Amino acid sequence: MFRSPIIRKVKEANKVVDPRKKDLAPSELDFGPVKFLIPRHFGFCYGVENAIDIAYRTVEQNPDKNIYLLSEMIHNPTVNEDLLERGVKFLFDTDGTVRIPIESLSADDIVIVPAFGTTIEIQEKLQEQGIDPYQYNTTCPFVEKVWKRGKQLGKKGYSLVVHGKHEHEETRATFSHSADHSPVVVVLNPEEAKILADIMTEKRPLSDFEKHFGHKSTDGFNPLEDLENFGVINQTTMLATETQEVMDILKEAAAKKFGEEDVLNHFADTSDTLCYATNENQSATYALADAAPDIAIVVGGYNSSNTMHLVEILEDYCPTFHIRDAEEFDGPAEIQHFNQWKKEMVTTKNWLPVDGNKLTIALTSGASCPDVLVDEVLLKVLSYFSESKEVDDVIKPFEKTMATAT
């Protein structure tokens, strides 16, 4: 139901011509008065596809049972709303607020763990109700990889710094699993990493730790002691370049404190925890920006972290509009879009230039966005341009490329 007739063909043709994913140059869909630039990597990743597959299969195979999601399956309203229409209920809001108490469930009920994973505390509550939290577990394998790497470090006596948004479901889950074996602190960005580095090297007073990190660290965390040996792991949807910057800042602080020659005995290399799909999508987005579009449209949920980072990349290069779907605009005169910095919906007038000059639009989506929604946005924008080429004609070269592989 989420497969698309347009974007799918572009993606499959790219797999034929570039199976090793070496080429980041965006694909061009030239309709005459408007040209769309489509990045090489975007949209559903393996973890999201796997989660959706398990969720829908579970609903189909258990028509007579109560089926619950811990919280949103993924951060895409179209998918979540469809599951709700099929009778699935959410136990929690995305911020952790309880909708339905776990204590009210029975052992016959089904609970699906979303792609973000969940906390050890919630797992234990489900088990107390006689529900196996792992039977319908859709946790992304790359999130689990982060947990496993953290556990390996914990066994060696390392503390953990988590680069992430402490209120995000995935970071809450990662914090819980990490706190089971290590002291843990969460940092949001390089600016917070610098604050933590200054506390660690005693450029700032120890009291600053409670001010900046007390609400997102394990009880009793002492940076002067717990950062003697540590590693950095991450929320998988954060900017990979930013995670690397956080690592570099804290590694430099460790070198100052313990000596350059001894730094690797105190700071663990955890670069292997970066999600390949997030990294690919972000690299492709930088290439999309380098192609110099006039405007950019990013389709995805307004609480989707990875989508917001794509917006962040593109808005440094051109006017960028983050929309959930094609219903956010009705003509070139006005568009409703999300401003992540103000955390609110805003309206932009005359957002789409249709003055006769050829327009180039970068079009992409987050990892939790179905390609069919991107199709709908493309077709709606295209409808505002007269004398544009037919979709079938523009897509035909991609279909020919696909045919060579069969």
Q: Please identify every residue annotated as catalytic.
A: 170
User: How far, in Å, CA of 81 to CA of 373, rounded?
Assistant: 14
Q: Is 237 helix (H, G, I), strand (E, B) or coil?
A: coil
Residues forming a β-bridge with 233: 162
Half-sphere exposure of 265 (CA within 13 A, CB side): 6
Q: Is 43 helix (H, G, I), strand (E, B) or coil?
A: coil
User: How far, in Å, CA of 291 to CA of 224, rounded?
Assistant: 47
Q: Is 137 helix (H, G, I), strand (E, B) or coil?
A: strand
Can you list the pairs that 390-397 forms with residues at least 24 positions away whose Cβ atoms lie under 8 Å?
391/6, 394/29, 394/30, 394/31, 395/6, 395/9, 395/10, 395/29, 397/13
Half-sphere exposure of 295 (CA within 13 A, CB side): 17
Alpha helices in 19-140 (DSSP H): 46-61, 77-85, 120-128
User: How far, in Å, CA of 72 to CA of 84, rounded?
Assistant: 10
Q: Is 367 helix (H, G, I), strand (E, B) or coil?
A: coil
Residue in this structure with the two tokens 């110099």, named with its chain if needed: 292
379-381-387-392 Cα dihedral, nearest 10 degrees: -20
What's the gap between Cα 329 and its chain centre?
24
User: How far, in Å, CA of 86 to CA of 361, rounded?
Assistant: 36
Half-sphere exposure of 225 (CA within 13 A, CB side): 5
Q: Is 184 helix (H, G, I), strand (E, B) or coil?
A: strand
